[in-house]
Amino acid sequence: MNRLPLSDISSTATLLPGTNTTCPYCGVGCGVKATVTDVPARTVTIAGDENHPANSGRLCVKGSALGETVGMEGRLLYPEIRGERKSWDESLEFVAAEFSRIVREHGPDAVAFYVSGQLLTEDYYVANKLMKGFIGSANIDTNSRLCMSSSVAGHKRAFGADTVPNCYEDLELADLVVLTGSNAAWCHPVIFQRLKAAKEKRPGMRIVVIDPRRTATCDIADLYLPVKAGEDVRLFNALLAQLASRDALDHDFIEQHCNGFVQALAAAQAQDLAIAHLAHDTGIDALDIERFFSWFVTTPRTLTLYSQGVNQSSSGSDKVNAIINCHLATGRIGKPGSGPFSLTGQPNAMGGREVGGLANQLAAHMDIDNPEHRERVQRFWQAPVMPEKNGLKAVDMFEAVHAGKIKAIWIVATNPVVSMPDADRVRAALQQCELVVVSDCIADTDTTRMAHVKLPALGWGEKDGTVTNSERRISRQRAFLPAPGEARADWWMMAEVGRRMGFADAFAFAAPADVFSEHAALSAFENDAAHGRRDFDIGAVAGLDAAAYDALLPFQWPIRSGEHAGTKRLFADGQFFTADGRARFLAVSPRTPANLPDADWPFVLNTGRIRDQWHTMTRTGLSARLLAHIGEPFCAMNPDDAAAFAIREHDVVTLESRWGLARARVQLTRDQSAGTVFMPMHWTGVLSSHSRVGAVVNPVVDPVSGQPESKHTPVRVRRFDAAWHGFVLSSVALPLPDQDYAVAVRGGKFWRFELAGENTLVGPTELADELLKTVMQQALAQGRATETLEYVDASCGVYRRAVLIEGLLQSVCFIGPDSGLPERRWLAGLIGGPLSALDRRALLSGRAADPAADVGNIICACFAVGEKTIRRAIATQNLDSVAAIGACLKAGSNCGSCQPELKQILASCQVVEKTPA
Ligand SMILES: Nc1nc2c(c(=O)[nH]1)N[C@H]1C(S)=C(S)[C@@H](COP(=O)(O)OP(=O)(O)OC[C@H]3O[C@@H](n4cnc5c(=O)[nH]c(N)nc54)[C@H](O)[C@@H]3O)O[C@H]1N2
Ligand SMILES: Nc1nc2c(c(=O)[nH]1)N[C@H]1C(S)=C(S)[C@@H](COP(=O)(O)OP(=O)(O)OC[C@H]3O[C@@H](n4cnc5c(=O)[nH]c(N)nc54)[C@H](O)[C@@H]3O)O[C@H]1N2
Ligand code: SF4
Ligand SMILES: [Mo]
């Protein structure tokens, strides 16, 4: 037993008070200190862990709000089969028996697991072992297919292994940071904050942002390149050609450590390199392209950060290799402050790759299509079977479910009915599947609605294990809350099913530490010069006992047996993991996306994330504070495009593709280039009637990685011709109204419903009756006195109602002919309370008698500071900087996530001031 020679990586010293754990959201992997102040009430105080190297105490707004998402609301508490509560024993027995039967009758490829980068490494390891080594199919794929698989493919092609060479310290050491296809300000906020701080300290550091949308990340950019969607390969190929023609190559590095340079350069030079044509094809100003090239040519310490604008593309793998080519050509890899750095999305996207959770991987960075690897893993696992070919990748997997070839699927910690492309087809596939098992911590999701068997999983704060962040740093997630109901760990469910399928010995894990230990041992198994060295090796932590595992400090892999500290950077020695140890240049050529806009589908739909929501909102949607910034699904559109289609700000629009439709409220902005629209991926069928953008997204994939092109779907956008608009504010949750446009938004002490309908309302009274039915029924059942206030103007279709119960305002319902309804914020503030005479009089006008009561849209979620408050303060107190706003209103002074918006508000106030009336 390896007992703690690991002074650098295992210690109990920093563990008290509170629990040191890791944030369950993005791949930055911030250390969090959680302190439970009231166990039954599950009250938890959250702070950044100052000793965690990823964040040194910083947290973004989502991390700071974690305490608001660990309550019992909405939790799945007991196993269920076909809607009936069952014991764990019955449920596991049922799943194991059905999977065994289907495998017996139809072969191992008739079953599948679809898992997630939000699983802990231990969960993931067990799932992968069960499917590949014991069921004998490679049909286990993961939402990382939608997220990181193009990077995996690019890394393997260039480096011979899926290796991220860099570490976060490089953020501070770089002289030029290129962010391409990454909105780090919103999606990797602590990395963004580190960059921002580095730049403030060292103003000579330059930042370039490459993105078809001008995002909040541009706030720190010296140069913004509005690349036309999909044109990254062309841009980076042209850069490679420039590096050659301007003699910026590292000839020694290329000759000694790389193959394929000549071919890659020839491919780059084969494209039209005339700057005017390049500018035309990429949509970027010629001078800006030249400036970018010059900076790259002259800056040895160049770091390229990339994320989904690169990966989620039908040429995603080629984009990754085009970027890596430029770093290899200049020898800028594995050195302080330089390298190609893929920012991973999910908290454990990396851990999943380490255990081989993708359908074309094996385990511990070995490959299914390598017979030696197969034999080795089989021997290590003492597995009865081992698939010889890759399994189905996510999009193909759900197609096979649709076709009835896959008859049973177990979906764990992901919500594919929302997040897959062509999502209505995914729903249809599950609807007709023989057996759908879903493990989730939340009871009602778009995917659990399709489940025959629901298994309650432990959530963050309850589960125990490890995750790996973007810089290869393995950290512990630790439990600090009791399991709710009968919820159990995901690894436990998988292992139990494994045992019940007849593989008791292979799945005899008693705790996550056992799983981790086996995983670590496999990583080091025959991993040496004689057998061929693999990058992923954590042999030093194989055989940790429970106490050492519990005390594990964050460390970066590889850490080989006998080593005492992890590895900051790889490839500094020019040694790669290909057969000959040389890196490979890849000859790539620009390719247009598979589906291009045309007269029928004139716009390119781009999808992605917003600052305060996480994916399908099952957790961030529990926090009213996180919904204060953006509460409703929106479609960002260029004002000129909107004008051409008679679309005005705040109109509801329908986005339609050949695959499906979604509705959202229009947001006009010049940050969105003409011909493109953007809609967030977050809204679900639970929270909206028709705002699940996945239904619209084309199921096109990258031919190498199988990653879907979620950033590029031709669509048409038309104004939703609403005959009426409305909203409801209610102190109690109401069922989602079944309307053409309906969105439920959680507020602090209320729910808000935004509504619109296509058909003329015959009776607004009847609609209000229907919408407020739950409120009235509850009052009736409790025998409480209700009072109704009404305002009707039938001539113009205006109807307003307020319901008071025993003097307290319970709900309001406003219906009108257009979207010009009063602001909701003032009314919302009145819900649940008694009304003053003044408020009562103003109530159905919807407008506060005192304008200061209207704070506007919330910009700073930490301190709930609204846009109108900020604008008033700027005007009245002459505030002229973000710091001044912070000093006056506190806005932007906690997590800093809203600072780019504060800057924009300042700028717009200054423009107004300077514009003569
Ligand atoms: N707030 C928040 N943060 C998150 C998440 C979340 O749900 N919410 N999810 C996490 C996960 S899993 C992931 S994967 C990451 C994703 O992090 P990011 O990749 O930074 O986020 P996205 O918004 O998906 O897309 C990034 C940008 O790519 C741009 N883009 C689109 N097409 C192109 C193109 O052709 N070329 C280039 N260069 N850019 C293009 C988009 O306009 C967008 O601004 O975020 C993580 N962090
Ligand atoms: N249009 C469009 N679609 C996209 C993207 C895009 O940019 N545009 N991005 C893609 C990307 S990069 C990603 S990563 C995916 C993300 O998409 P999903 O993975 O589908 O989204 P999540 O909401 O994170 O789903 C996680 C689910 O697991 C549950 N859960 C949380 N913790 C646990 C746990 O410990 N155990 C179990 N069993 N369940 C748990 C949550 O309640 C939730 O239901 O979306 C992809 N889809
Ligand atoms: S930056 Fe990412 S890991 Fe850090 S607190 Fe925010 S969501 Fe969590
Ligand atoms: Mo992701």
The 3 state secondary structure assigned to 823-892 is CHHHHHHHCCCECCHHHHHHHHHCCCCCHHHCCCCEEECCCCEEHHHHHHHHHHHCCCCHHHHHHHHCCC
Residue 904: closest CA among 863, 877, 874, 878: 874
pLDDT digits (tens, 9 = 90+) for 441-480: 999 999 999 999 999 999 999 999 999 999 999 999 999 9
Ligand 2 atom at minimum distance from 116 CA: 19
Q: Is 63 in the pocket of ligand 3 (CB under 6 A)?
A: yes
d(CA 796, ligand 2 centre) in Å: 44
Q: Is 28 in the pocket of ligand 3 (CB under 6 A)?
A: yes
pLDDT digits (tens, 9 = 90+) for 88-146: 999 999 999 999 999 999 999 999 999 999 999 999 999 999 999 999 999 999 999 99
CA distance 473 to 168: 10
Q: Are strands 435-440 and 408-412 parallel, antiparallel or unpaired?
A: parallel
Concatenating the DSSP letter of every residue in 661-713 gives EEEEEEEE-TTBPTTEEEEES---TTTBSS--GGGTS---B-TTT--B-TT-E
Residue 313: closest CA among 715, 701, 673: 701
Give me the pLDDT at residue 13, please. 41
Q: Is 181 in the pocket of ligand 1 (CB under 6 A)?
A: yes
CA distance 467 to 745: 32
Concatenating the DSSP letter of every residue in 403-458 gives TTS--EEEEES--HHHHSSSHHHHHHHHHT-SEEEEEESBS--TTGGG-SEEEEBP
Is 699:421 a contact under the CB 8 Å cutoff? yes
CA distance 123 to 131: 13
Give me the pLDDT at residue 763, please. 82
Q: Is 615 in the pocket of ligand 1 (CB under 6 A)?
A: yes
Ligand 3 atom at minimum distance from 60 CA: 6
DSSP structural state of residue 599: S
Q: Is 227 in the pocket of ligand 1 (CB under 6 A)?
A: yes
Ligand whose nearest atom lies closest to the CA of 58? 3
State the burial class of residue 426 (Cβ atoms within 10 Å of its Cβ: 0-12, 13-18, 19+). Answer: buried
Concatenating the DSSP letter of every residue in 277-339 gives HHHHHHT--HHHHHHHHHHHHH-SSEEEEE-HHHHSSTTHHHHHHHHHHHHHHTT-SSBTTBE
Ligand whose nearest atom lies closest to the CA of 168? 3
Q: Is 306 left (phi over 0), alpha (psi -120 to 50) or beta?
A: beta
Ligand 3 atom at minimum distance from 23 CA: 8
d(CA 147, ligand 4 centre) in Å: 4
State the burial class of residue 172 (Cβ atoms within 10 Å of its Cβ: 0-12, 13-18, 19+). Answer: middle
Residue 457 phi/psi, 5° resolution?
-100, 150
Question: How many Cβ atoms sit within 10 Å of the Cβ of residue 321?
Answer: 27
Q: Over the chain (917 residues), what is each successive 10-residue block's mean pLDDT?
A: 39 61 98 94 95 96 95 97 98 98 98 98 98 97 97 98 97 98 97 97 97 97 97 98 97 98 98 96 98 98 98 98 98 97 96 95 95 97 96 98 98 98 98 98 98 98 98 97 97 98 97 97 96 95 94 96 94 94 98 95 98 96 91 97 95 97 97 97 98 98 98 98 95 94 95 94 88 91 93 90 95 91 90 92 87 82 89 92 94 88 89 50
Q: Which helix (H) or strand (E) segment is 343 a member of?
A: none
Q: Is 190 in the pocket of ligand 3 (CB under 6 A)?
A: yes
Is 148:117 a contact under the CB 8 Å cutoff? yes
Which residue among 188, 358, 415, 438 has the greatest number of ligand 2 atoms within 8 angstroms of its CB, and so is best to mutate?
A: 415
Is 306:705 a contact under the CB 8 Å cutoff? no
Residues 6+ away with beta carbon under 8 Å from 295:
176, 206, 208, 223
In angstroms, what CA-CA distances link 154 with 251, 352, 583, 741? 23, 17, 12, 41
Q: Is 477 in the pocket of ligand 2 (CB under 6 A)?
A: no
Q: Which helix (H) or strand (E) segment is 535 a member of?
A: none
Ligand 2 atom at minimum distance from 607 CA: 8
Question: How many Cβ atoms sit within 10 Å of the Cβ of residue 797?
Answer: 17
In angstroms, what CA-CA distances link 107 with 250, 358, 654, 678? 53, 20, 44, 43
Q: Is 638 in the pocket of ligand 2 (CB under 6 A)?
A: no
> What's this model's pTM, rounded to 2 decimal places?
0.95
Residues 6+ away with beta carbon under 8 Å from 221:
179, 207, 208, 209
Three-state secondary structure call for residue 213 = strand
Three-state secondary structure call for residue 23 = coil
Q: Is 470 in the pocket of ligand 1 (CB under 6 A)?
A: no
Question: How many Cβ atoms sit within 10 Å of the Cβ of residue 132?
Answer: 31
Ligand 3 atom at minimum distance from 59 CA: 5
Quote the tokens at residue 734: 């109401």
d(CA 609, ligand 4 centre) in Å: 10
d(CA 542, ligand 3 centre) in Å: 28
Neighbours of ion ligand 4 (CB under 5 A): 147, 345
Residue 323: closest CA among 20, 309, 911, 596: 309
Give me the pLDDT at residue 912, please. 56
CA distance 514 to 523: 14
834 residue type, one letter: P
d(CA 648, ligand 1 centre) in Å: 27
Q: Is 368 in the pocket of ligand 3 (CB under 6 A)?
A: no
Residue 672 phi/psi, 5° resolution?
-95, 120
In angstroms, what CA-CA distances link 327 with 198, 226, 239, 340, 571? 22, 22, 11, 7, 12
Block residue for tokens 């990254």: 232
Q: How many angstroms from the chain centroid is the CA of residue 643? A: 32
Is 193:56 a contact under the CB 8 Å cutoff? no
d(CA 435, ligand 3 centre) in Å: 36
Residues 711, 712, 717: CA angle, nearest 5 degrees = 110
pLDDT digits (tens, 9 = 90+) for 661-710: 999 999 999 999 999 999 999 999 999 999 999 999 999 999 999 999 99
pLDDT digits (tens, 9 = 90+) for 312-333: 999 999 999 999 999 999 999 9
Ligand 2 atom at minimum distance from 442 CA: 42
Give me the pLDDT at residue 245, please. 97
Give me the pLDDT at residue 911, please. 64
Quote the tokens at residue 831: 């819900």
Ligand whose nearest atom lies closest to the CA of 215? 1
CA distance 159 to 153: 10
Ligand 2 atom at minimum distance from 420 CA: 47
Q: Is 619 in the pocket of ligand 3 (CB under 6 A)?
A: no
CA distance 551 to 563: 18
DSSP structural state of residue 132: I
